[in-house]
Amino acid sequence: MMTRAQYEASIRKLKLQVYMFGKRVQNPVDDPIIRPSLNSVAMTYELAERPEFTDLMTATSHLTGKKINRFTHIHQSVDDLVKKSKMGRLLGRETGCCFQRCVGMDALNALSITTFNIDQKYNTTYYNRFLKYLEYVQENDLVCDGAMTDPKGDRSLSPHEQKDPDQYLHVVEERKDGIVVRGAKAHQTGAVNSHEIIVMPTVSMSEQDKSYAVAFALPSDTKGIIYIMGRQSCDTRKLEGDTMDRGNVLFGGHEALVVFDNVFVPWERVFMFQEFYFAGELVENFASYHRQSYACKVGVGDVLIGATQIIAEYNGAGKASHVKDKIIEMNHLNETLYCGCIACASEGSRKPSGTFCVNTLLANVHKQNVTRFPYEIGRLAQDIAGGLMVTMPAEQDLKSPETGKWIKKYLQGRADIPTEERMRILRLIENITLGTAAVGYLTESMHGAGSPQAQRIMISRTVNMKEKRKAAKKLVGLEDKG
């Protein structure tokens, strides 16, 4: 396994084509806007080195028997699934934001199921090809970006019907030694901090869409892959150095639009090619895993609830009954989210490939709750924090000889708490509920791993209504006729 320092050194070696604010970023690792997101990923390596977290952060490879980082592991039991949820909460609490590595882990596990199933139906060799790739990822402890979401263009049209065929990533040329693909993947969390990009289809497909039914993996600095960094609220505050106005002064996340401009993929890196029948299965397997992964929001919720408790005390309102009740509600909602991710893991089962997958129904119920509860937790945090969270002056004003004395005097809460401490906690709440971390806590909660409606569709498909009807009829003496 790599250390934190080795991870950073490995990312420095990549020749990524990254753009931000209309200019090429020559050194993404040290760019002040991107760097906090790398710090977050680095925690997945740092915690794996700490003895107290070994059980959660590491696993034993079923391929080699070696100790590996859990983010490269294929789940071999229900216990693995439960530990994944606990690991997500731990890292969310340690970073206070998105640590970006879950999506690659979920892609690996989804592929381990679907490549096996494709081979069983078509007598292909994808599964063995995937296992060789997996061993490479495990041996080198790599960060994988799971790239599923296409731009999609006109949502009313299927991939092959789009006016611009590149709105969904697709194969444009088949060669003896591989394929050439073109398109883009949007909302790519942590892409610039990744060693590998694992591409998957984003929707179920028909035979007419078979050129879009492709899955593969490539080094992230492969020729023709271009990264365009996304904007986040308050992102340029990171240019101000370690100022408290950043809120979270250590960690952050990032999103990118990843363009594939006629990129070559060798056959040994291709895990699906025109098997359109399995595109939907791969999407659903990945989605189930990734909806479980939102245990991370519980960890960020822990941080937000802690900050809210602190600011209530700093404001002198910590003993007010209505404030206590609101914080109880925040904890109730946050722990309910935790119940969901643990439940779908505990009800997981073994697939034909040997990989354990979460309970699909409960994973979707969990994620549906994630689309709602963090917003209410955030609302209550802002309620208790007060308007000063978004109206207070900058740190430079606090430190200014002209204005500092007035800020210390008039922005003081409790007399025994320094004004600066109060301001720091307010900035953290702002960061999580409105600033750069709000992408990873709120917007990701809403749209990550599929829209809220996508989960409702899966709940409708997977809930056993026949059994519910049967149970009701049985109790009133009615014959069950289906």
The predicted-structure confidence for 361-373, as pLDDT tens digits, reads as follows: 999 999 999 999 9
Per-state percent for the chain, helix, strand, coil, to nearest 5? 55, 15, 30
CATH (domain of 427):
1.20.140.10
Give yes or no: residues 300 and 271 share one domain: no
- C-alpha gyration radius of the chain: 24
Query: Considering the domain boundaries, does residue 469 fall inside one?
Result: no
Which residue numbers are catalytic? 98, 102, 189, 255, 290, 294, 296, 444
Instruction: State mean pLDDT over 131-156.
Output: 98
Any residues with CB less than 8 A from the CB of 176 and at least 6 apart, and which?
A: none
Query: Considering the domain boundaries, does residue 400 fall inside one?
Result: yes
Encoded amino acid at 427, one letter = R
Alpha carbon 209 to chain centroid distance?
Answer: 28
Nearest Cα neighbor of 232 from 221, 246, 243, 220 is 246
Model confidence pLDDT, tens digit, residues 74-92? 999 999 999 999 999 999 9
Give yes or no: residues 84 and 138 share one domain: yes
Sign, Cα dihedral of 238, 232, 455, 120: negative
Give yes or no: residues 129 and 161 share one domain: yes
The gap between the terminal CA atoms of the chain, to the nearest Å, is 55
Note the pLDDT of residue 240: 93
- Per DSSP, 442 falls in state I
Query: Considering the domain boundaries, does residue 284 fall inside one?
Result: no
Query: Considering the domain boundaries, does residue 482 fall inside one?
Result: no
Any residues with CB less than 8 A from the CB of 89 and at least 6 apart, and which?
A: 295, 296, 298, 299, 302, 338, 341
Q: Please give the share of the chain, as a percent, with pLDDT higher than 90.
A: 99
Residue recorded with tokens 């229900």: 78
Flag whether pLDDT at 482 surpasses 80: no
Give yes or no: residues 273 and 131 share one domain: yes
Model confidence pLDDT, tens digit, residues 268-288? 999 999 999 999 999 999 999
DSSP 3-state assignment of 278?
A: helix
Note the pLDDT of residue 480: 82
Q: Please give the share of the chain, as a percent, with pLDDT higher than 70.
A: 100
Structure tokens given for 471: 């149970």
Instruction: State mean pLDDT over 114-122.
Output: 98
Give yes or no: residues 217 and 310 share one domain: no
Encoded amino acid at 273, one letter = F
- Domain end residue (candidates: 230, 247, 278): 278
Dump the DSSP string for 53-92: GHHHHEEE-TTT--EEEGGGPPP-SHHHHHHHHHHHHHHH
Structure tokens given for 132: 């060789």
Give yes or no: residues 258 and 376 share one domain: no
Query: Considering the domain boundaries, does residue 206 fall inside one?
Result: yes
Split at pLDDT 50, 70, 90, the class of 131 is very high
Give yes or no: residues 262 and 404 share one domain: no
Note the pLDDT of residue 48: 98
Give yes or no: residues 244 and 352 share one domain: no
Instruction: State mean pLDDT over 159-187.
Output: 98
Split at pLDDT 50, 70, 90, the class of 196 is very high
Beta pairing class for 67-69 and 178-189: unpaired
Split at pLDDT 50, 70, 90, the class of 476 is very high
Q: In what order do the strands lie in the sheet with 196-199?
A: 144-147, 196-199, 214-219, 270-273
* DSSP H or E stretch at residue 179: strand 178-189
Instruction: State mean pLDDT over 172-200.
Output: 98
Q: How many domains does the structure of the chain reveal? A: 2
Any residues with CB less than 8 A from the CB of 184 and at least 6 apart, and which?
A: 150, 151, 166, 169, 257, 258, 259, 260
The CA distances from residue 91 to 86, 364, 424, in Å, are 9, 22, 22
What pTM was estimated for this model as a whole? 0.96
Neighbours of 9 (CB within 10 A): 12
Query: Considering the domain boundaries, does residue 471 fall inside one?
Result: no
Are 115 and 129 in contact, with CB atoms under 8 Å apart? yes
Structure tokens given for 55: 């059980």
Give yes or no: residues 169 and 219 share one domain: yes
- Domain end residue (candidates: 278, 302, 327): 278
CATH (domain of 34):
2.40.110.10
Encoded amino acid at 159, one letter = P
Instruction: State mean pLDDT over 96-110.
Output: 97
Instruction: State mean pLDDT over 106-133.
Output: 98
Give yes or no: residues 237 and 351 share one domain: no
- Domain end residue (candidates: 254, 278, 302): 278
Please give the mean pLDDT across all residues of the chain. 97
DSSP 3-state assignment of 328?
A: helix
Give yes or no: residues 271 and 345 share one domain: no
Query: Considering the domain boundaries, does residue 475 fall inside one?
Result: no
Model confidence pLDDT, tens digit, residues 411-460? 999 999 999 999 999 999 999 999 999 999 999 999 999 999 999 999 99
Domain that holds residue 297: 291-464
Are 215 and 181 in contact, with CB atoms under 8 Å apart? no
Give yes or no: residues 63 and 199 share one domain: yes
What is the phi-psi region of residue 317: left when phi exceeds 0, alpha when psi lies from -120 to 50, beta otherwise?
Answer: alpha
Query: Considering the domain boundaries, does residue 78 fall inside one?
Result: yes
Torsion angle in degrees (nearest 10) through CA of 74, 78, 81, 83: -110
Instruction: State mean pLDDT over 226-254.
Output: 95
Dump the DSSP string for 119-163: HHHH---HHHHHHHHHHHHHHHT--EEEE-----SSTTS-GGG-S
Are 225 and 197 in contact, with CB atoms under 8 Å apart? yes
Instruction: State mean pLDDT over 10-24.
Output: 98
Any residues with CB less than 8 A from the CB of 478 and at least 6 apart, and which?
A: none
Q: Which residues pair with 264 in a beta bridge?
A: 180
Sign, Cα dihedral of 328, 334, 340, 342: negative
